[in-house]
Amino acid sequence: MKIIRKRLVSLILAILLAIPMTFLCDMDVLATDVISEEEKMSDGYASANKEYSCSDSFKVANNNTLVKVAISTTYEVKGSVSIAYKEAEDNPYLLKFETKSGNVFDAEGEGKPLIYCVKTIVLDKGEYTINIQFDQTTSYNLYMVRCAGISEKKLEVVEGFTSQFEVTDSIAAKIEWRSNNKIIADVDENGVVTGKYPGTTDIVLTGRTEGGAELFSYTCKIKVISNVFKASKLTVSDIKDTGNDIGADVYNMYYNKKGHLVMKLAIANASKKLVKRITNVKFKARDNAGKVIGIYKIKSMDIKVPSGKSKTFTIKIKKKDLKIKKANLVGGSMTGSQFTAVTV
């Protein structure tokens, strides 16, 4: 049995799929009067026998497509709908939900269609299989509509910086944005997300008609990470592998409350002598784009690192000496390391 009419198959091959996570039970909420035939992937009734699995396949042409899926029936039944990659080895479900029973008759006792559930999902380019099964014989409608393309399924934002969430080819007249936790992240009317405090939250986008009816909704997971540079801490073994006796490198840097750039310096001594101090020290701190944030320089620094040991030290570049007062440190680097070791 074909659950998607043949006249729509060619259309499905060229349409991107994507679906937000929401439950609806009112036909008006689907706003079918404002959805063009080009957006409709399926909109017609069919019949299914009791406990018989109906299936069909379709293709998605592009990544990150948002599609709404709805199931309505003429009888009070229970059932399930699933979408999965076609011919995948483990065939994992990308969408799976069950209809919920309810009163499908109006006050006069006449039957009418009931939207059992509506869900949305974001699908990438590929070929898929969709299956429907009910606990009794019924007429049903599988309603599928392409809603929009989205730039990201989830976002990672650095604390104090922004990231753009874009919606393209939307069927909605307007898009609304909302943050579930403005302490962690906020979003403006253009979908620009600002990371405020490390943690996770959701950004909800809602597409509406000119009259305000909801067409679709999607929840994007947001992770705000600390604006900190982290790298592997230098060890004696690392120095031996390079063939050198003494090494120094910054493995951590961050801004403190006063705006100074604080750096954690590891010095490893693979020589057979005590490193008493290092002189003519110079380190260049760079941001994630490779731009120089600041340069740390000092003529002499007492350290006392025994043979075969490594030690860590805290150094900093004062705010007034920084070339960039607020830089993205995640993915940054420390280059141009220079020093002379004094051993005894």
* pLDDT given for residue 225 in this prediction: 96
Window from 116-125, 205-214, 221-230, 232-241 with minimum mean pLDDT = 116-125
* pLDDT given for residue 74 in this prediction: 67
**Does the structural domain 154-225 have CATH classification 1.10.3720.10?**
no
* Total Cβ atoms within 10 A of residue 105: 12
Query: What mean pLDDT do residues 182-191 have?
Result: 95
Query: What mean pLDDT do residues 171-188 have?
Result: 94
Q: Residue 24: what residue type? A: L
* pLDDT given for residue 87 in this prediction: 64
Q: Is 63 helix (H, G, I), strand (E, B) or coil?
A: coil
* pLDDT given for residue 228 in this prediction: 96
Rounded CA separation 222/254 (Å):
22
Q: Judging by beta carbons within 10 Å of its beta carbon (0-12, 13-18, 19+), is residue 93 exposed, middle or buried?
A: exposed
Can you give the length of the chain in residues?
344
- Residues 220-268 have pLDDT tens digits of 899 999 999 999 999 999 888 887 889 888 999 999 999 999 999 999 9
* pLDDT given for residue 13 in this prediction: 27
228-343: CATH topology: Immunoglobulin-like (2.60.40)
* pLDDT given for residue 46 in this prediction: 67
Rounded CA separation 199/35 (Å):
38
> What residue ranges do the domains of the chain occupy?
6-149, 154-225, 228-343
Q: Is 100 helix (H, G, I), strand (E, B) or coil?
A: coil
Window from 119-123, 205-209, 280-284, 286-290 with minimum mean pLDDT = 119-123
52 falls in which pLDDT band (50, 70, 90)?
confident
* pLDDT given for residue 93 in this prediction: 56
Average model confidence (pLDDT) across the chain: 78
Q: What percent of the chain has pLDDT over 70?
A: 77
The single residue listed with the structure tokens 């091959």 is 13
Give the residue with greater pLDDT, 212 vs 60: 212
pTM metric for this prediction: 0.73
Rounded CA separation 65/153 (Å):
10
**Top CATH class, 6-149:** mainly beta
* pLDDT given for residue 49 in this prediction: 76
50: alpha, beta or left? (left if phi > 0; alpha if psi -120 to 50): beta
Query: What mean pLDDT do residues 71-90 have?
Result: 70
Rounded CA separation 292/168 (Å):
36
Query: What mean pLDDT do residues 291-302 have?
Result: 93
The encoded tokens of residue 283 equal 């380190």
Rounded CA separation 207/119 (Å):
14
Q: Judging by beta carbons within 10 Å of its beta carbon (0-12, 13-18, 19+), is residue 314 exposed, middle or buried?
A: exposed
Whether 344 and 300 have beta carbons less than 8 Å apart is answered as no
The encoded tokens of residue 145 equal 């509509």
* pLDDT given for residue 136 in this prediction: 79
Q: Which helix (H) or strand (E) holds 334?
A: strand 333-343
Query: What mean pLDDT do residues 52-78 have?
Result: 77
Window from 130-139, 182-191, 241-250, 292-301 with minimum mean pLDDT = 130-139
- Residues 273-289 have pLDDT tens digits of 999 999 999 999 999 99
* pLDDT given for residue 305 in this prediction: 93
* pLDDT given for residue 72 in this prediction: 72
Rounded CA separation 78/233 (Å):
58
Q: Judging by beta carbons within 10 Å of its beta carbon (0-12, 13-18, 19+), is residue 232 exposed, middle or buried?
A: exposed
Give the residue with greater pLDDT, 12 vs 332: 332
Rounded CA separation 137/51 (Å):
8
Domains 6-149 and 154-225 share a fold: no
Residue 106 clears pLDDT 80, i.e. is over it: no
